[in-house]
Amino acid sequence: MNIAKTLREFRSLREQLPSPVGFVPTMGYLHDGHLSLARMAREDGASVVASIFVNPTQFAPTEDLDAYPRDLKRDLELLEAEGTDLVLTPETNDEFYPAGYDTWVDVAGITRVLEGASRPTHFRGVATVVAKLFNVVQPDRAYFGQKDAQQALVIRQLIRDLNFPIELVLGPTIREDDGLAMSSRNAYLSAEQRTAAPVLRRSLDRVEALYEGGERRGNVLRDAMQELIDTEPLATIDYVSVANLETLEEADVLEGKALVSLAVRFGKTRLIDNTILPRGASLI
């Protein structure tokens, strides 16, 4: 496995990789969600490129950029064990955002709701760094996790709208045994918060069960999630949503596919999770 700490190094190592190239962009502190994407890329027969970069432009000034967990040595061992060929891990933010940097990629529309409503500059930062990474890595396929469902839809639109010659591949959300979606931010949770957090997946289970029992009213489904999460005193809801999957607008009555999603705080730690209705339907 080769490791590039600068874009210049990366480019010369990238040139030597056989096609097709599969790309797994990450912010590091890897868990099995990330690693499952590297595994998918490998199983698809691609050279596997991963990036580890805690992208500052997708954090607001009030958010957890400085606290974001890092463990580069362990990340590199894990990626190597998955058969990753090349890792881009820039040592400084200057490599991506040098003095005078001033170009922004904005996917409008679907970025204004849900995560985008709570974090107004987040998806601009995501779309910008992903466009940059796509140009640097020039992958044939890019792998993203369904856990960040809205992000996946934003990347799909970015690829389509800007004509990137890249196939988007999504991996399923990987969960702990008790149902908590894996996330680098789970490391922030206290023992009590960690015990409480599986309420998120249980609230999605409840919506799935109601839906399968015939319930189609959006407000009934949202209320059911909220009610269950509110039984957990350590949980503070940011949003619960049952939205049309195409528009991400809140659904009055469900028709076609829906994205059921939530963002909930445990202390300072903000966690997200989601499921698609009907159960087992694909996000994209």
Residue with Cβ nearer a copy of itself (128 or 186):
128
| The amino acid at 211 | Y
Instruction: Provide the minimum distance between the beta carbon of 246 and a copy of itself in the complex, in angstroms, as a whole number.
Output: 9
How far is C-alpha 262 from the geometric centre of its chain's CA atoms? 14
Phi, psi torsion values for 175, nearest 5 degrees? -120, 155
Q: Which residues contact 20 (CB under 8 A, 6 or more apart)?
A: 44, 45, 46, 47, 139, 140, 141
Residue with Cβ nearer a copy of itself (97 or 239):
97
Q: Which residues contact 66 (CB under 8 A, 6 or more apart)?
A: none
Instruction: Provide the minimum distance between the beta carbon of 113 and a copy of itself in the complex, in angstroms, as a whole number.
Output: 13
Q: How many C-beta neighbours within 10 Å does residue 159 have?
A: 18
As a whole number of angstroms, the distance between CA 24 and CA 37 comes to: 7
Phi, psi torsion values for 147, nearest 5 degrees? -55, -40
As a whole number of angstroms, the distance between CA 143 and CA 23 comes to: 6
Residue 193, sorted as left (phi over 0), alpha (psi -120 to 50) or beta, turns out to be alpha
Active site residue 122: no
Instruction: Provide the minimum distance between the beta carbon of 105 and a copy of itself in the complex, in angstroms, as a whole number.
Output: 5
Phi, psi torsion values for 88, nearest 5 degrees? -100, 115
Closest by Cα among 42, 111, 128, 107 to 79: 42
How far is C-alpha 157 from the geometric centre of its chain's CA atoms? 15
Residue with Cβ nearer a copy of itself (47 or 128):
128
Instruction: Provide the minimum distance between the beta carbon of 134 and a copy of itself in the complex, in angstroms, as a whole number.
Output: 9
Instruction: Provide the minimum distance between the beta carbon of 156 and a copy of itself in the complex, in angstroms, as a whole number.
Output: 11
Closest by Cα among 186, 184, 207 to 195: 186
Instruction: Provide the minimum distance between the beta carbon of 182 and a copy of itself in the complex, in angstroms, as a whole number.
Output: 29
Collapse the DSSP code of 14 into the 3-class scheme (helix H, G, I; strand E, B; otherwise coil) and give the result: helix
Residue with Cβ nearer a copy of itself (100 or 213):
100
Residues facing 242 on adjacent strands: 260
Residue with Cβ nearer a copy of itself (110 or 262):
110
Active-site residue, selected from the candidate residues 4, 24, 26, 34: 34
Residues in contact with a copy of itself by the rule CB under 8 A: 7, 11, 100-110, 127-128, 131-132, 135-136, 138, 157-158, 161-165
Residue with Cβ nearer a copy of itself (138 or 184):
138
**Residues forming the active site:** 34
